[in-house]
Amino acid sequence: MKISVGVITYNQEATIRQTLDSILAQKGDFDLELVIGEDCSLDNTFAICQEYADKYPISNVKCQIVLLPNQKNLGIMANFTRVMRACTGDYISICAGDDYWCDEYKLQKQLDYFNVHPEVGVVSTSGYKLLVRTNTLVPNAIAPIHPIVDGDIRKFYFSPDYRGGVYAMPLSLLIKRDLLQYVDFDEFVRREFPVEDYPMQAILSQHCKWGHINDLCVVYRVYKESATFISYDHPKYLQYHKGLMNIRRYLNELFPEDACFSEERMQEYEFYKEFLLYLHHGEYKEAKNLVLSAPEIICNTRQYGQAKRMTRSRVHFALFRIYKHYANKKEINSRT
């Protein structure tokens, strides 16, 4: 029995040792393979990974580290894809280079769960959120906060009530490798998806039941920068949100019978995110033009109506901008 752990890392010299040490500390009845995708860091991350790879060569069957070549920076999606492709274990787990595991029996507990529940294809665990700004560990603070009892995760991803995010944090998962045949990671790269965990989990939810272990096994670091892509100041803000809707369109193509996002809803989402960007920067003229040129398909939607009301005058726009500024600041502070 072999478990592969994919480690994705970039510019994480301060944390990568803890990540690797926590994985290497795992105990249980299995062989362990670490596949590291080091994406041409500008710091000493690669040198540290090479140090570990030298200690655990591929010839070491019980515990080996495969350090993938890093001739150029690939970006998150392409780097993740090559790591998944390189994993050869019967089961696959994932851990980013700034997170770590805190239970040395995490993987064995998940294997035991599979043995008792052979119908399950993915097992998550509970864990801590580490607020780096205050160095505070918060227990039971990562998804899934409320695990779905019957293991049918389609209820999360293919529901009209879906509000974004992932069902389970990737660092907590153990996945049966055979199930990854249903996930076309190359298509993720081709379509330039901004994230890999959301579409992967949504697709897997269509092919197996999920299980959960309540033990606190992992630690997910949260920096203020962890909220980067919800920041209006990030240069890829709009690209990120449009990418999320492209993931939704892709899921609609794959599973038309479970499609729960209409084109109207997706265009409304994209419109409103662009409106909020203009609002954040105080660009009244641009926001007004956006409302006037909105596609007819969204003109009866709630968020279009709100944007239309807030652009009736510069005073309405300015007051709404102040309100959204403080609401957004409060949201970011609550996460970090």
Distance between CA atoms of 92 and 3, rounded to whole angstroms?
A: 6
**Could you read off the pLDDT of 56-115 as tens digits, one per residue?**
998 887 999 999 998 899 999 999 999 999 999 999 999 999 999 999 999 999 999 999
Angstrom distance (rounded) from CA 122 to CA 93: 10
Amino acid (one-letter) located at 45: T
Give the amino acid at 58.
I
Range 215-232 average pLDDT? 80
Which residues pair with residue 90 across a beta bridge? none
pTM above threshold 0.85: yes
The rounded distance, in Å, linking the Cα atoms of 289 and 168 is 39
Band (226; pLDDT cuts 50, 70, 90): low
pLDDT in tens, 36-48: 999 999 999 999 9
Distance, CA of 136 to CA of 129 (rounded, Å): 8
For the chain, the first-to-last Cα distance in angstroms comes to 39
Segment 159-186, tens digit of pLDDT: 999 989 999 999 999 999 999 999 999 9
| Contact criterion met (CB below 8 Å) for 173 and 205 | no
**What is the number of other CB atoms lying within 10 angstroms of the CB of residue 127?**
28
Q: Which domains does the chain have, with CATH numbers?
A: 2-226 (3.90.550.10), 228-335 (no CATH)
What contacts 4, CB < 8 A, 6 or more positions away? 33, 34, 35, 87, 88, 89, 91, 92, 93, 177
Q: What is residue 23's predicted lDDT score, i.e. its pLDDT?
A: 98
Helices (H), the chain: 16-24, 45-55, 76-86, 106-116, 154-157, 185-190, 197-205, 237-254, 263-280, 284-292, 302-310, 314-335
pLDDT in tens, 106-163: 999 999 999 999 999 999 999 999 999 899 999 999 999 999 999 999 999 999 999 8
- In three-state secondary structure terms, 45 is helix
Measured CA to CA, the distance from residue 23 to residue 100 in angstroms comes to: 8
Task: Indicate whether 229 pLDDT > 60.
Answer: no
Query: Residue 10's pLDDT band (boundaries 50, 70, 90)?
Result: very high
Other Cβ atoms within 10 Å of 133 Cβ, number: 10
Read off the pLDDT band of 328 (50, 70, 90).
confident
Higher pLDDT, 298 or 232: 298
- DSSP single-letter state for residue 134: T
Question: Of 295, 294, 329, 287, which is closest to residue 311 (Cα–Cα)?
Answer: 287
Q: Is the pLDDT of residue 332 over 80?
A: no
> Mean pLDDT for the chain?
95
pLDDT at residue 321, rounded to an integer: 97
SS3 track for 170-216: HHHCEEEHHHHHHCCHHHHHHCCCCCCHHHHHHHHHCCCEEEEEEEE
